[in-house]
C-alpha cells in the first residue's frame, strides 16, 4: 500500500516520516524515528505503557494512527528532561522509588505530566484517576501516587 | 514483651552493614525515568525482519500434513521455518543440569499436545506481512482425545499426552512416578487421633501478565556470532538452551539482557530466543520475535494448576499428630520447570509445624494444557496456602483460636523436621505473636510467652521409625516400575498404551511399629525404638541425587 508522508513535532524537533496508512503512532515513534521511550505492552489500549502526549493530551500510542498526527506536537518521556536537568516528575519518581522494572514508567510519567500541566495542585483521588489507565505489575501504585503528589508540591513551592 | 531474634543469620552477618533504614538509589533508576533504559525490543536494526508462528488450534491432534506453499509466496515473506529446520528439535529446560528427559520440540513434528503449540515459523519484512502469511499455512489435523484433569491423566488407560513420559507423570530418578516423604506412621496416628479432617484444595493456573511480553531480537554480528537481545530472566540459562537447540557453540551467542520488563517467572522458558536466532542464521538478517498480548495470555506458560488433598489427625487439645498430603501438579503438555516445583513442594510439607507423623506424595502430571512454568515461589505457594487454610479449619474443629493453634503446633529450634533435618533459626511463633499484636488480636498468656527458642528438641528431635512394607519399601506395596520408554522415529506408529496399576491407596502393613512420640509427651528416648529388621534387606535408596537438582536447589543443601 502506498506510504504517506506525515510531519509532526516530536519533543520539540520537527520530524517528517513516511508511514503506512494503518501504522500506529507508537510504531512510528519507535521503529520509524528511533525514540524507544514509549513501550508496546498490549496493542489494545488496556495497559497504558505506550502513553504519549499529543498537543498536551495523553494518548495511547498503540491506538493512534500516525496519519492523524499531521501538524501535532508529540511528547514522550525522552523529552521530559531539560538537558541534564530532570523534570520534577522524574526527580520525584527517583526520590520515591516509583519504578521497579521501569517498563510502565515512561507512560506513567506522561500521564502524570498531562495531569500536572492542567491541574498543578491535584488531590490524591485526581492523581489516581489520572493514572487509572496505566498498569504497573511490580511496584504497586502507592509510590507512584506519592511521587506525583510530591512533584506537584515541589512545583507549587517553586512558583510561590 | 517481644523478644527480637538477634541471632538470626548470625553466622552470615557482617556487622559493618549500615544500609538498613536508609534509602539507596537503584543504579537503573535514572534510565527508567528518562526513558533511556533499553529493554530487549528497544534496539533499532536496519533490515529488521519479523517472525510469527503458526499455532495449533487443537488441544491434542496428530498432524497429517503441513502445506506452506501459499505462505512462502506471500508478499514480504523471506523464510518459512519448519520442524526439520531446527537442528535439535527436542529439549527440556532442566537438561542443562541433567534433570529430566528431552520432551518438547521447538516446532511440533507429528503431533500437537496443547492449544497454541508452535508448528511453523514465518519470517517477513513486517509484522503485518508475517501475520498475513501465518493465515496461509494449511495444516491438516486428526484431533485426538484429550485429558485436562491431573487425576484423570494418572488413571489406567488415560490418553498419553507426551510420549516421552507415557504414564503421564514425570519420572524422578528415571523410575519413580512421584516424589515421596515419609516420617513416622500416619495410619496409626489417624486411628489414635480425636478428629481426622480431609480437605481438597484446587489452584487455577495464573498468567504472570508482565507489562512487557516475551520476545527476542537476534542479529548476525561481524565475527560469525549472533547478538541476542533477550528478556530472559535467566540469561545464561537461555543462552545454554539456545545453543543446545541450535547445535551452536555457546561462544557464538552474545546474549544481552538482564533488563526485564516484568518477569515473575514468566520469562525463564526461552520461548522466543531459539527461533529468533535460527531466523537470523537462516536469513542472515536481524530477526525480531515478540509475543503479542493474546499469545502471551493464551500460550505463554502460566503458573500451573495444583491440587492438594490434605488429611490431618488432631487431638482435642489441639496437637496435630498426623498429616498426609497428596499433591498433583498440572505440568501441561511438557515438563519445563514443573518437575522442580514438585520437589520444592515436598520440601515444604508439612509446613512450619512439628508433626510427628507425616506422609507426602507429589506428582508432576502431564495434561493437554499449556505447559506451566515458574512463578513466584512456584511449588510452595499453593501447598502453603492449602496448609494454612487447613490450619484454620482444624483450629475451628477443635475450638482453639487460629493464632494460638499455630503457636501450639509451630516448629521450634531443635525439632526434627519430616525431612530429617533439625530445625534451626525457627521464628514462626514470633511471627504469629507480632502479627497478633499488629492487629490487636488477643493472645493467651501462654501463647504470648511461647518462644521458638524453648520447648523444642528432646523428644521432638526424634526420628520415628518409618513404616515399611515386607519388601522394605516405604509408602505402599508396589512401587510402579517406569514404563518402557517410547522414542518413535519419524513415521513410526506409537505402541499401544501400557496399562498401569491404578493409583493405589496406601495399605498399612499388618504389623505397625510404634507411633512416634507426640510433641509434648515428656519422654520417649531420643534414640527411639530399634527398627525391626525387615526380612529382605532394604534396597539402596536412589543414592545421593545425581540429577543436578542438588546444585540447582537450596532444598538439598545447607545454607552456608
In SS3 terms, B510-532 reads as: CCCCCCCCCCCCCCCCCCCCCCC
Q: Is B22 on the interface with A (CB under 8 A)?
A: no
**What integer pLDDT is reported at residue B50 of this predicted model?**
98
Residue B24 banded pLDDT, cuts 50, 70, 90 = confident
Phi, psi of B111 (to 5 degrees): -155, 145
What 3-state class would DSSP assign to B154? coil
CA A82 to chain centre: 16
Taken in order B53, B141, B151, B89, the sign of the CA dihedral is negative
Q: Does residue B345 have a pLDDT over 80?
A: yes
Option in B44, B261, B290 nearest A101 (CB) = B261
Phi, psi of B365 (to 5 degrees): -110, 140
Cα gap B93→B268, rounded to integer Å: 9
- Look at B523 and B260; give whichever has higher pLDDT: B260
Using alpha carbons only, give the angle B117, B122, B123 rounded to the nearest 5 degrees: 135
Cα gap B390→B397, rounded to integer Å: 10
What 3-state class would DSSP assign to B324? strand
Option in A34, A43, A47 nearest B211 (CB) = A47
**Residue intervals in chain B for CATH 3.30.365.10:** 150-206+302-482+506-552
Per-residue pLDDT, averaged over B246-251, amounts to 97
Residue B490 banded pLDDT, cuts 50, 70, 90 = very low
Please write the tens of the pLDDT for every residue from A81-90: 999 999 999 9
Using alpha carbons only, give the angle A139, A144, A148 rounded to the nearest 5 degrees: 170
Residue B8 banded pLDDT, cuts 50, 70, 90 = low
Residue B10 banded pLDDT, cuts 50, 70, 90 = low
The answer to whether B130 touches B77, Cβ cutoff 8 Å, is yes
CB contact under 8 A, A102 and B36: no
Q: Does residue B515 have a pLDDT over 50?
A: no
Q: Is A141 on the interface with B (CB under 8 A)?
A: no
Per-residue pLDDT, averaged over B244-265, amounts to 96
Chain B's closest residue to A91, CA to CA, is B33
CB contact under 8 A, A81 and B34: yes
Count CA atoms closer than 13 A to B360's CA, side-chain side.
23
DSSP per position, chain A: ---EEEEEEETTEEEEEEE-TT-BHHHIIIIIT----S--S-SSSSS-TTEEEETTEEEEGGGSBGGGGTT-EEE-GGGSSBTTBPPHHHHHHHHTT--SS-SSHHHHHHHHHHHHHH-SS--HHHHHHHTTT---SSS-SHHHHHHHHHHHHHHHHHH-
The answer to whether B465 touches B459, Cβ cutoff 8 Å, is no
**What integer pLDDT is reported at residue B310 of this predicted model?**
98
* Chain A nearest CA to B134, separation (Å): 19
Q: Provide, as residue numbers in chain A, all residues whose Cβ is less than 8 Å from the Cβ of B260.
A: 101
Most distant CA atoms of chain B, gap in Å:
83
Residue B5 banded pLDDT, cuts 50, 70, 90 = low
Q: Does residue B500 have a pLDDT over 50?
A: no
Please write the tens of the pLDDT for every residue from B379-429: 999 999 999 999 999 999 999 999 999 999 999 999 999 999 999 999 999
Residue B11, exposed/middle/buried by CB under 10 A (0-12, 13-18, 19+)?
exposed
Q: Does residue B509 have a pLDDT over 60?
A: no
**What integer pLDDT is reported at residue B350 of this predicted model?**
94
User: Could you tell me how many CB contacts below 8 A there are between chain A and chain B?
Assistant: 104
Please write the tens of the pLDDT for every residue from B60-110: 999 999 999 999 999 999 999 999 999 999 999 999 999 999 999 999 999
* Chain B nearest CA to A98, separation (Å): 9
**What integer pLDDT is reported at residue B443 of this predicted model?**
97
Q: Does residue B111 have a pLDDT over 50?
A: yes
Q: Record the cell numbers describing residue B297, joined without a space.
A: 495470555
Per-residue pLDDT, averaged over B522-532, amounts to 40
Q: Record the cell numbers describing residue A16, joined without a space.
A: 517528517
Q: Provide, as residue numbers in chain A, all residues whose Cβ is less than 8 Å from the Cβ of B261.
A: 39, 101-103
**What integer pLDDT is reported at residue B473 of this predicted model?**
74
Whether cis (ω within 30° of 0) applies to the bond prior to B350 is yes
B181 in the Ramachandran plot: left (φ > 0), alpha (ψ -120 to 50) or beta?
beta
Domains of chain A: 4-79 (3.10.20.30), 88-159 (1.10.150.120)
Residue A77 banded pLDDT, cuts 50, 70, 90 = very high
Cα gap B360→B389, rounded to integer Å: 18
Q: Does residue A44 have a pLDDT over 70?
A: yes
Kindly report the CATH number that applies to the domain delimited by B49-144+209-299: 3.90.1170.50
Neighbours of B402 (CB within 10 A): 16
Residues whose CB falls within 8 Å of the CB of residue A103, separated by 6 or more in sequence, listed in order: A39, A41, A49, B39, B210, B211, B212, B261, B262
Kindly report the CATH number that applies to the domain delimited by B150-206+302-482+506-552: 3.30.365.10
Residues whose CB falls within 8 Å of the CB of residue B225, separated by 6 or more in sequence, listed in order: B251, B252, B253, B254
**What integer pLDDT is reported at residue B501 of this predicted model?**
38
- Look at B354 and A2; give whichever has higher pLDDT: B354
The answer to whether A59 touches A52, Cβ cutoff 8 Å, is yes
Cα gap B135→B426, rounded to integer Å: 58
Percentage, residues of chain B above pLDDT 90: 77
CB contact under 8 A, B35 and A31: no
Cα gap B168→B162, rounded to integer Å: 7
Option in A39, A106, A136 nearest B212 (CB) = A39
Number of residues that this document lists for chain A: 160
**What integer pLDDT is reported at residue B480 of this predicted model?**
43
Q: How far is CA B278 from CA B107, B212, B253, in A?
A: 12, 23, 11
Q: Does residue B196 have a pLDDT over 90?
A: yes
Option in A42, A99, A137 nearest B293 (CB) = A42
Q: Does residue B17 have a pLDDT over 90?
A: no
CB contact under 8 A, B35 and A34: no
User: Cell 517477513 appears where?
Assistant: B124
Residue B6 banded pLDDT, cuts 50, 70, 90 = low
Please report which helix (H) or strand (E) contains residue B386, including its range. Answer: helix B381-398
**What integer pLDDT is reported at residue B476 of this predicted model?**
52
Sheet holding B61-67, edge to edge: B111-112, B61-67, B138-143
Q: Is A31 on the interface with B (CB under 8 A)?
A: yes
Phi, psi of B362 (to 5 degrees): -130, 130
**Residue intervals in chain B for CATH 3.90.1170.50:** 49-144+209-299
CA proximity to B357, closest of B280, B405, B418: B418
Per-residue pLDDT, averaged over B487-496, amounts to 38
CB contact under 8 A, B36 and A86: no
CA proximity to B284, closest of B72, B445, B455, B79: B79
* Chain A nearest CA to B217, separation (Å): 13
In B204-342, which ranges are E strands?
Answer: 215-220, 226-230, 253-256, 287-290, 306-314, 320-332
Residues whose CB falls within 8 Å of the CB of residue B278, separated by 6 or more in sequence, listed in order: B81, B85, B86, B121, B245, B246
Amino acid at each position: 500500500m502506498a506510504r504517506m508522508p506525515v510531519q509532526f513535532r516530536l519533543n520539540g524537533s520537527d520530524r517528517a516520516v513516511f508511514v503506512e496508512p494503518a501504522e500506529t503512532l507508537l510504531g512510528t515513534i519507535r521503529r520509524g524515528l528511533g525514540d524507544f521511550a514509549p513501550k508496546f505492552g498490549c496493542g489494545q489500549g488496556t495497559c497504558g505503557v505506550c502513553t504519549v502526549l499529543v498537543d498536551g493530551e495523553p494518548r495511547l500510542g498503540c491506538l493512534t494512527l500516525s496519519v492523524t498526527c499531521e501538524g501535532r506536537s508529540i511528547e514522550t518521556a525522552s523529552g521530559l528532561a531539560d538537558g541534564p536537568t530532570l523534570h520534577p516528575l522524574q526527580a520525584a519518581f527517583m526520590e520515591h522509588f516509583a519504578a521497579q522494572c521501569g517498563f510502565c514508567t515512561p507512560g506513567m510519567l506522561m500521564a502524570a505530566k498531562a495531569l500536572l500541566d492542567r491541574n498543578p495542585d491535584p488531590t490524591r483521588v485526581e492523581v489516581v484517576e489520572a493514572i487509572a489507565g496505566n498498569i504497573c505489575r511490580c511496584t504497586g501504585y502507592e509510590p507512584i501516587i506519592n511521587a506525583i503528589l510530591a512533584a506537584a508540591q515541589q512545583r507549587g513551592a517553586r512558583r510561590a | 514483651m517481644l523478644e527480637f531474634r538477634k541471632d538470626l543469620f548470625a553466622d552470615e552477618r557482617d556487622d559493618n552493614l549500615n544500609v538498613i533504614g536508609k534509602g539507596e538509589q537503584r543504579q537503573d533508576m535514572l534510565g527508567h525515568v528518562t526513558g533511556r533504559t533499553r529493554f530487549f525490543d528497544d534496539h533499532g536494526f536496519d533490515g529488521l525482519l519479523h517472525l510469527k508462528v503458526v499455532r495449533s488450534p487443537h488441544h491434542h491432534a496428530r498432524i497429517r500434513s503441513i502445506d506452506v506453499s501459499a505462505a512462502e509466496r506471500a508478499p514480504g515473506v523471506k523464510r518459512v521455518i519448519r520442524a526439520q529446520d531446527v537442528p535439535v528439535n527436542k529439549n527440556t529446560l532442566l537438561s542443562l543440569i541433567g534433570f529430566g528427559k528431552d520432551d518438547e520440540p521447538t516446532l511440533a513434528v507429528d503431533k500437537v499436545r496443547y492449544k497454541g503449540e508452535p508448528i511453523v515459523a514465518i519470517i517477513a519484512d513486517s509484522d503485518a506481512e508475517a501475520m498475513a502469511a501465518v493465515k496461509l499455512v494449511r495444516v491438516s489435523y486428526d484431533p485426538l482425545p484429550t485429558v485436562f484433569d491431573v487425576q484423570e491423566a494418572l488413571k489406567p488407560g488415560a490418553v498419553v499426552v507426551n510420549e516421552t513420559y507415557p504414564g503421564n507423570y514425570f519420572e524422578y530418578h528415571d523410575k519413580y512416578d512421584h516424589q515421596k516423604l515419609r516420617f513416622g506412621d500416619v495410619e496409626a496416628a489417624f486411628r489414635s487421633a480425636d478428629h481426622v479432617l480431609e480437605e481438597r484444595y484446587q489452584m487455577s493456573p495464573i498468567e504472570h501478565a508482565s507489562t512487557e511480553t516475551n520476545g527476542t531480537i537476534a542479529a548476525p554480528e561481524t565475527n560469525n556470532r549472533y547478538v541476542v537481545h533477550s528478556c530472559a530472566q535467566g540469561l545464561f540459562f537461555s543462552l545454554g538452551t539456545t545453543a543446545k537447540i541450535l547445535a551452536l557453540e555457546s561462544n557464538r551467542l552474545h546474549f544481552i539482557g538482564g533488563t526485564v520488563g516484568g518477569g515473575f517467572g514468566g520469562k525463564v522458558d526461552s520461548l522466543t530466543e531459539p527461533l529468533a536466532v535460527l531466523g537470523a542464521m537462516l536469513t542472515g538478517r536481524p530477526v525480531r520475535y515478540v509475543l503479542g498480548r493474546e499469545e502471551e495470555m493464551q500460550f505463554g506458560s502460566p503458573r500451573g494448576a495444583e491440587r492438594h488433598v490434605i488429611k490431618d489427625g488432631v487431638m482435642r487439645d489441639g496437637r496435630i499428630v498426623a498429616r498426609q498430603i497428596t499433591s498433583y501438579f498440572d505440568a501441561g503438555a511438557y515438563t519445563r520447570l514443573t518437575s522442580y516445583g514438585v520437589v520444592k513442594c515436598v520440601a515444604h510439607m508439612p509446613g512450619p509445624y512439628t508433626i510427628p507423623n507425616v506422609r507426602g506424595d507429589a506428582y508432576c502430571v502431564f495434561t493437554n494444557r499449556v505447559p506451566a512454568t515458574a512463578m513466584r515461589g512456584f511449588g510452595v505457594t499453593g501447598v502453603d496456602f492449602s496448609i494454612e487454610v487447613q490450619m484454620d479449619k482444624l483450629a475451628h474443629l477443635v475450638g482453639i483460636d487460629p493464632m494460638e493453634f499455630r503457636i501450639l503446633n509451630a516448629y521450634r529450634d531443635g525439632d526434627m523436621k519430616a525431612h530429617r533435618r533439625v530445625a534451626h533459626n525457627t521464628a514462626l511463633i514470633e511471627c504469629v505473636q507480632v502479627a497478633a499484636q499488629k492487629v490487636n488480636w488477643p493472645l493467651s498468656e501462654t501463647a504470648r510467652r511461647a518462644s521458638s527458642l524453648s520447648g523444642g528438641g528432646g523428644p521432638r528431635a526424634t526420628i520415628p521409625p518409618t513404616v515399611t512394607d515386607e519388601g522394605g519399601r516405604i509408602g505402599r506395596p508396589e512401587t510402579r516400575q517406569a514404563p518402557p520408554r517410547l522414542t518413535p522415529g519419524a513415521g513410526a506408529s506409537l505402541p499401544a498404551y501400557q496399562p498401569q496399576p491404578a493409583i493405589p491407596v496406601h495399605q498399612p502393613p499388618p504389623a505397625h511399629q510404634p507411633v512416634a512420640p507426640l510433641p509434648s509427651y515428656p519422654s520417649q528416648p531420643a534414640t527411639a525404638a530399634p527398627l525391626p529388621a525387615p526380612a529382605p534387606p532394604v534396597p539402596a535408596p536412589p543414592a545421593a541425587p545425581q540429577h543436578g537438582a542438588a546444585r540447582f536447589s537450596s532444598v538439598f543443601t545447607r545454607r552456608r
